[in-house]
């Protein structure tokens, strides 16, 4: 049996491309019919056919003969008949194919009726020759052409992915085609109807009349003079009022939705420009601004385009940000999800140079957010496996799912390590934050505060890398020891060599590998400097300019007042340049005398107690007897050091935990002994003071470690660490603080779990008020607080009477206007390292696109990761007995020569401006009020201590006023050391065979004689205790 005709022509048998071509041909036929109609009108002389006898019509009466008959040429008639036949044939075929049992429904379609009106009369004239002059309104085919055009645009979605996919363009085409059809219908209709009137319109005059009528009320120079023409104009205007507003509204809605959905990365852009894709769940203007500022701070990124791919809609602040000329041509917003391949294709993820998968800052459900991040990372890896990923997560346990990512920054890892190191090295959070941020050291240079200039200038130091063989800084030290190269590069060029990486696929970065490591040409050196060596186009000229700025900053730091003698500074600069020139000439003459370079430089004022930094390794000195004594429990019968060993934790709190060597108890403590305020049969103590610790405690206050009481896994982890206890309570409760040992503590760390407030900037409200309460009661405490919003740090330790602290706000405003990425850096809580926000870690991931080593370097510096043969970060305090060293340059030499340690910065505490202190002292009313507050607070604390059975002598209200603390990164060699300075040091690695009870005293390198009598201060023991707490 042969297939039926209906089966052969079923639409399913036609492919999409064939259907598109058929509709395109139909559109051509309809447009051609309209063109032929216009040709017929232009060639019409306005007379009746020869075989039609004209009637007489009185003036003002409609001439109906001229409406029914037209003088049509035979050639035009032939063309119109052919076009009409093709058009009606296609309509009949479509009618047959779309027949579904109801022919009446198909016949009543407006499309079919128009086709019959415009085509069948012409075909009928083939058989009726006298009817060839009959008028047919073929111009109505324009509406059929519009319908076909809409169908073509629908079909283009199936065969093309370019213009047809844009709903906005589709709405614009529909509106434009509707306007065109209205104008064309009006033009042809008015022209034909005016044939029956006294004033006849040609085609152009009719078009002019329609345009003027639609756009204005009309000029009156041309007007219809018959009732039929006037009625036609009224009907036409009513139709326009009925159709156009709806389509204009649809166009406006589509445009607004298109604005919300963002743009689309065109193929022409993707082939000619480099771009990176940033996927983020929530768009925050400040968050995106920080990314753009850091990303475009590097010259390598100036020609990059940033594509923001986010499922959320932009708010008003975000729209205003992207309209700024600086970003409008560099940033493209696309609304979509990284989980959809279509949206990834819109962003041209396959051609991207990098993909940043970021998480919104102010999120409370961080675990759920990490799950979304993992899925986005997997989706990008599946769609574009070759595109490097830069992923930001919150929880360390999420790392096991994104091992394929090239760079991963875990907020919790960095945050807790930074806070723990802040207890060992005061202000290290500010030090690391400034080191990570891109800056030119221009902050604070126009300030009237001396410490602003020193602090701001040295904040321009960053970490850079370079091959030793290609470096002008370090190539001359190939074959020399690491400490020798570090010191002499610092003395000569002002750069601090602090780490090295040997050539090889399995090699890792090593911090200060010590004097036993020798530089090789293939090594990669990591150094601190104001600018990288490659940016010094004129090496000597650029280096001299940096030296002059560093010398000026050192002069400001040493003098410490604003009445600087400029001539003295210039004189010092001239003397320093002469000495360095003399130093360079001496070095060129005899390389073998390099170990005695300091003898030539008179700046150091050499003393016999400062050793020489040798090219080769010297025999190590024996450990001092007193440096081996334990300062934790020297008076106890049993030393705690004998109970511990250096090893990996036996238990991990989550999968993919980094293996970190720390001090672990040989025998696990009992669970009942872990709660500090709960007595048991093994430990009867109920308050911290009963333990009689010899060193200050560290209190870590977190929102929660788990829901409710600690779970067994948490207790099992901390049970292996010495001197680590837990307690359930509120940090806002004075009783809980006293039980936890706040009177015996030097540091209180306040950690936030997430944003809990509906209004985002109030997320830190509870933390700020609580910390303020603790600061009022215990002013001597160093409170290290984590905030959600950086802008809220101005409320930390807020004092309306502290004029000096309040005036820092004007410097913040100036830095913000200047475009600084860290306008808050001069706020006293941040400068002294008392405030930290995890948002500051975001820039670490942004820099990784250029500095692929920065994440590993910071992890190693904070102790998150460990590398074999690598040193570690620690600090010590300069006392009055150490001032004989003199300057920071001499300290650098002393540490390198004696114990192979490398200093990297100073944490300095200085007195306020004398004028401010005098102003505060003169205010008698405020002074009296402070005395009353002091007595009231002391009475309250003593009352609660008496109630809890804690000795009153443990509490003393010691208010510290008139001091400012700040960090100096990579100080100049001429900066004079002051008593109270805390020096950040990267110590040389400890030998593996060292006994567990032996420790290296950070101050050992400061001893003036080989066997000194100085006893390590209690804060050395705090270092170990803090590390243990960090490990927990």
Query: pLDDT category, 266, cuts 50, 70, 90?
Result: low
Which pLDDT value is given to residue 625? Answer: 42
Percentage, residues of the chain above pLDDT 70? 75
Which pLDDT value is given to residue 571? Answer: 45
Query: pLDDT category, 607, cuts 50, 70, 90?
Result: very low
Place of tokens 């925050």: 284
| Domains 262-405 and 450-604 are alike in CATH topology | no
Angstrom distance (rounded) from CA 855 to CA 853: 6
Which pLDDT value is given to residue 346? Answer: 86
For the beta sheet containing 872-877, the strands, ordered from the edge strand earlier in sequence to the opposite edge, are 872-877, 982-987, 902-911, 963-969
Residue from 573, 558, 576 nearest 450 by CA: 558
**Of the candidate ranges 340-349, 748-757, 835-844, the one whose mean pLDDT is the lowest:** 748-757
Q: Are 111 and 88 in contact (CB under 8 A)?
A: no
Query: pLDDT category, 857, cuts 50, 70, 90?
Result: very high
515 Cβ contact partners less than 8 Å away, ≥ 6 residues apart: 481, 482, 483, 484, 614, 617, 618, 900, 988
Per-residue pLDDT tens digits for 868-892:
889 999 999 999 988 889 899 999 9
227 Cβ contact partners less than 8 Å away, ≥ 6 residues apart: 62
Tally the residues of the chain. 1032
Alpha helices in 979-1018 (DSSP H): none
At 761, list the tokens: 């900037």
Q: Are 516 and 617 in contact (CB under 8 A)?
A: yes
250 Cβ contact partners less than 8 Å away, ≥ 6 residues apart: 171
894 Cβ contact partners less than 8 Å away, ≥ 6 residues apart: 610, 611, 885, 1005, 1006
Which pLDDT value is given to residue 183? Answer: 92
Domain chopping of the chain, boundaries: 5-258, 262-405, 450-604
Angstrom distance (rounded) from CA 1029 to CA 76: 97
3-state secondary structure of 78: helix
Instruction: Sort strands 274-280 and 354-358 into parallel, antiparallel or unpaired.
Output: parallel
Which pLDDT value is given to residue 997? Answer: 41
Mean pLDDT in residue range 33-42:
90
**pTM of the predicted structure, to 2 decimals:** 0.75
Average pLDDT, the chain: 78
| Sequential DSSP letters for 41-55 | HHH--SPPPTTSPPP
Per-residue pLDDT tens digits for 395-417:
888 888 898 999 999 988 888 89
Which pLDDT value is given to residue 521? Answer: 92
Residue from 873, 900, 874 nearest 1016 by CA: 874
Residue 571 has a CB neighbour count (10 Å cut-off) of 11
* Residue 829 confidence (pLDDT) above 70: yes
Q: Are 682 and 731 in contact (CB under 8 A)?
A: no
Mean pLDDT in residue range 94-117:
70
Angstrom distance (rounded) from CA 852 to CA 98: 64
Alpha helices in 216-315 (DSSP H): 227-261, 267-272, 285-295
479 Cβ contact partners less than 8 Å away, ≥ 6 residues apart: 518, 519
Angstrom distance (rounded) from CA 930 to CA 258: 61
Query: pLDDT category, 326, cuts 50, 70, 90?
Result: confident
Mean pLDDT in residue range 894-903:
91
Element (H, E) at 315: none
Tell me the torsion sign for CA atoms 738, 741, 746, 747. Answer: negative
Mean pLDDT in residue range 258-265:
67
Q: What are phi and psi of 986, to 5 degrees?
A: -100, 105
Angstrom distance (rounded) from CA 760 to CA 596: 60
Per-residue pLDDT tens digits for 471-518:
888 989 999 999 999 999 999 888 999 999 999 888 899 999 988 899
Residue 811 has a CB neighbour count (10 Å cut-off) of 22
321 backbone φψ class: left, alpha, beta (φ>0; ψ -120 to 50): alpha
3-state secondary structure of 265: coil
Residue from 267, 365, 360 nearest 308 by CA: 360
Angstrom distance (rounded) from CA 591 to CA 478: 13
Give how far Cα 742 sits from Cα of 145, 169, 683, 779, Å: 85, 68, 20, 11
Angstrom distance (rounded) from CA 262 to CA 257: 9
Mean pLDDT in residue range 87-108:
70
**Of the candidate ranges 64-73, 615-624, 637-646, 988-997, the one whose mean pLDDT is the lowest:** 615-624
Which pLDDT value is given to residue 580? Answer: 47
Which pLDDT value is given to residue 386? Answer: 94
Which pLDDT value is given to residue 968? Answer: 93
Per-residue pLDDT tens digits for 719-755:
888 888 888 888 888 888 888 888 888 889 988 765 5
Please determine, looking at this structure, whether the domain spanning 262-405 carries the CATH number 3.40.50.720.
yes
957 Cβ contact partners less than 8 Å away, ≥ 6 residues apart: 779, 934, 937, 938, 941
Per-residue pLDDT tens digits for 917-939:
545 555 566 667 777 878 888 88
**Of the candidate ranges 23-27, 100-104, 372-376, 967-971, the one whose mean pLDDT is the lowest:** 100-104
Angstrom distance (rounded) from CA 92 to CA 87: 9
Angstrom distance (rounded) from CA 144 to CA 849: 56
Angstrom distance (rounded) from CA 407 to CA 354: 11
At 940, list the tokens: 């309250």
427 backbone φψ class: left, alpha, beta (φ>0; ψ -120 to 50): left
* Residue 584 confidence (pLDDT) above 70: no
**Of the candidate ranges 118-122, 250-254, 521-525, the one whose mean pLDDT is the lowest:** 250-254
Per-residue pLDDT tens digits for 125-152:
888 888 788 888 888 989 988 888 888 8
Burial class (CB in 10 A: 0-12, 13-18, 19+), 373: buried
At 858, list the tokens: 């910071």
Residue 61 has a CB neighbour count (10 Å cut-off) of 12
Q: Are 500 and 524 in contact (CB under 8 A)?
A: yes
Which pLDDT value is given to residue 1001? Answer: 63
| Sequential DSSP letters for 272-284 | HSEEEEEEESS--
Query: pLDDT category, 970, cuts 50, 70, 90?
Result: very high
Which pLDDT value is given to residue 7? Answer: 41
Per-residue pLDDT tens digits for 422-449:
998 999 999 999 998 887 777 877 888 8
* Residue 595 confidence (pLDDT) above 50: no
* Residue 164 confidence (pLDDT) above 80: no
Which pLDDT value is given to residue 5? Answer: 44
* Residue 993 confidence (pLDDT) above 70: no
Multiple choice CATH, 450-604, 3.30.70.1450, 2.40.40.20, 3.40.50.720, 3.30.1130.10: 3.30.70.1450
Q: What are phi and psi of 304, to 5 degrees?
A: -90, 150
Instruction: Sort strands 304-310 and 274-280 into parallel, antiparallel or unpaired.
Output: parallel
């Amino acid at each position: 049996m042969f297939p039926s005709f209906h089966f052969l022509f079923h639409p399913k048998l036609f492919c999409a491309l064939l259907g598109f071509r058929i509709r395109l041909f139909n559109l051509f036929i309809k447009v051609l019919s309209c063109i032929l109609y216009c040709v017929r009108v232009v060639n019409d002389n306005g007379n009746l056919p020869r075989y039609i006898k004209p009637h007489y019509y009185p003036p003002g009466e409609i001439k109906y003969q001229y409406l029914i008959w037209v003088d049509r040429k035979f050639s035009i008639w032939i063309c119109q008949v052919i076009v009409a036949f093709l058009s009606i044939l296609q309509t009949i075929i479509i009618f047959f194919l779309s027949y579904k049992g109801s022919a009446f429904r198909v016949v009543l379609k407006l499309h079919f009726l128009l086709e019959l009106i415009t085509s069948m009369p012409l075909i009928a004239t083939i058989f009726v020759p006298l009817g060839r002059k009959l008028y047919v309104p073929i111009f109505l085919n324009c509406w059929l052409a519009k319908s076909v055009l809409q169908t073509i645009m629908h079909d283009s979605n199936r065969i093309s992915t370019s213009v047809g996919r844009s709903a906005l363009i589709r709405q614009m085409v529909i509106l434009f085609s509707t306007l065109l059809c209205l104008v064309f219908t009006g033009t042809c209709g008015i022209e034909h109807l005016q044939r029956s009137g006294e004033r006849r319109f040609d085609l152009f005059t009719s078009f002019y009349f329609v345009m003027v009528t639609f756009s204005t009320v009309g000029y009156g120079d041309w007007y219809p003079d018959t009732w039929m023409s006037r009625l036609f104009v009224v009907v036409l205007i009513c139709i326009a009022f009925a159709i156009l507003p709806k389509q204009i509204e649809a166009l406006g809605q589509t445009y607004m939705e298109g604005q919300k959905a963002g743009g689309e990365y065109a193929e022409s852009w993707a082939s000619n420009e480099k771009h990176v894709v940033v996927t983020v769940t929530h768009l925050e203007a400040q968050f995106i601004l920080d990314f753009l500022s850091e990303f475009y701070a590097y010259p390598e990124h100036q020609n990059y385009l940033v594509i923001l791919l986010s499922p959320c809609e932009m708010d008003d602040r975000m729209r205003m940000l992207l309209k700024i000329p600086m970003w409008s041509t560099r940033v493209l917003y696309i609304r979509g999800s990284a989980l959809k391949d279509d949206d990834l294709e819109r962003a041209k993820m396959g051609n991207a140079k990098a993909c940043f998968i970021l998480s919104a800052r102010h999120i409370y459900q961080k675990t759920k957010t990490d799950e979304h991040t993992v899925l986005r990372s997997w989706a990008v890896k599946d769609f574009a496996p070759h595109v490097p990923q830069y992923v930001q997560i919150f929880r360390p346990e999420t790392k096991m799912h994104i091992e394929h990512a090239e760079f991963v920054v875990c907020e919790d890892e960095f945050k807790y390590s930074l806070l723990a190191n802040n207890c060992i090295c005061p202000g290290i959070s500010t030090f690391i934050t400034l080191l990570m941020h891109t800056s030119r050291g221009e902050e604070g240079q126009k300030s009237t505060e001396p410490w602003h200039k020193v602090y701001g200038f040295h904040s321009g130091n960053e970490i850079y890398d370079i091959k030793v063989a290609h470096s002008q800084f370090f190539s001359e030290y190939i074959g020399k020891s690491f400490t020798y190269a570090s010191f002499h590069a610092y003395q000569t060029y002002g750069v601090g060599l602090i780490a090295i990486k040997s050539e090889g696929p399995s090699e890792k970065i090593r911090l200060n590998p010590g004097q036993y490591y020798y530089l090789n040409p293939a090594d990669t050196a990591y150094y601190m400097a104001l600018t990288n060596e490659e940016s010094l186009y004129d090496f000597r000229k650029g280096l001299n300019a940096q030296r002059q700025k560093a010398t000026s900053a050192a002069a400001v730091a040493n003098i410490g007042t604003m009445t600087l003698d400029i001539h003295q500074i210039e004189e010092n600069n001239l003397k320093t340049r002469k000495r360095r020139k003399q130093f360079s000439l001496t070095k060129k003459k005899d390389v073998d005398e390099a170990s005695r370079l300091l003898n030539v430089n008179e700046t150091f004022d050499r003393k016999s107690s400062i050793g020489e930094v040798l090219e080769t390794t010297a025999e190590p000195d024996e450990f001092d007897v007193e440096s081996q004594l334990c300062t934790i429990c020297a008076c106890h019968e049993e030393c705690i050091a004998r109970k511990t060993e250096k090893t990996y934790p036996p238990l991990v709190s989550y999968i993919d935990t980094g293996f970190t060597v720390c001090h672990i108890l040989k025998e696990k403590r009992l669970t009942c002994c872990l709660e500090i305020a709960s007595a048991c049969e093994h430990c009867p103590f109920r308050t911290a003071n009963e333990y009689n610790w010899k060193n200050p405690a560290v209190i870590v206050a977190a929102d929660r470690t788990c829901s409710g009481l600690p779970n067994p896994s948490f207790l099992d982890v901390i049970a292996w660490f010495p001197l680590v206890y837990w307690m359930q309570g509120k940090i806002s409760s004075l009783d809980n603080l006293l039980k936890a040992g706040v009177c015996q503590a030097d540091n209180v760390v306040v950690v936030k779990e997430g944003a809990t407030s509906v209004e985002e900037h109030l997320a830190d409200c509870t933390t700020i008020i609580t910390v303020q309460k603790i600061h009022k009661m215990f002013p001597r405490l160093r409170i290290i607080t984590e905030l959600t919003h950086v802008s809220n740090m101005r409320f930390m330790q807020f004092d309306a009477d502290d004029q000096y602290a309040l005036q820092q706000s004007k410097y913040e405003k100036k830095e913000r206007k200047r475009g600084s990425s860290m306008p808050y850096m001069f706020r006293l809580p941040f400068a002294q390292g008392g405030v930290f926000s995890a948002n500051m870690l975001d820039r670490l991931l942004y820099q990784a696109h250029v500095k692929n080593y920065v994440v590993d370097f910071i992890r190693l510096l904070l102790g998150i990761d460990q590398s074999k043969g690598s040193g570690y970060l620690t600090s010590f305090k300069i006392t009055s007995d150490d001032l004989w060293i003199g300057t920071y340059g001499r300290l650098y030499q002393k540490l390198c020569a004696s114990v192979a340690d490398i200093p990297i910065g100073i944490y300095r505490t200085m007195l306020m401006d004398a004028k401010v202190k005098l102003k505060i002292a003169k205010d008698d009313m405020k002074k009296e009020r402070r005395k009353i507050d002091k007595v009231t607070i002391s009475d309250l604390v003593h009352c609660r201590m008496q109630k809890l059975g804690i000795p009153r002598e443990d509490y003393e209200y010691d208010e510290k006023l008139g001091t400012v603390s700040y960090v100096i990164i990579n100080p100049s060699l001429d900066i004079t050391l002051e008593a109270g300075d805390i020096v950040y040091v990267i110590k040389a690695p400890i030998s593996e065979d060292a006994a567990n009870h032996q420790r290296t005293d950070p101050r050992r390198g400061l001893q003036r004689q080989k066997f000194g009598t100085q006893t390590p201060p209690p804060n050395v023991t705090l270092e170990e205790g803090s590390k243990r707490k960090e490990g927990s």
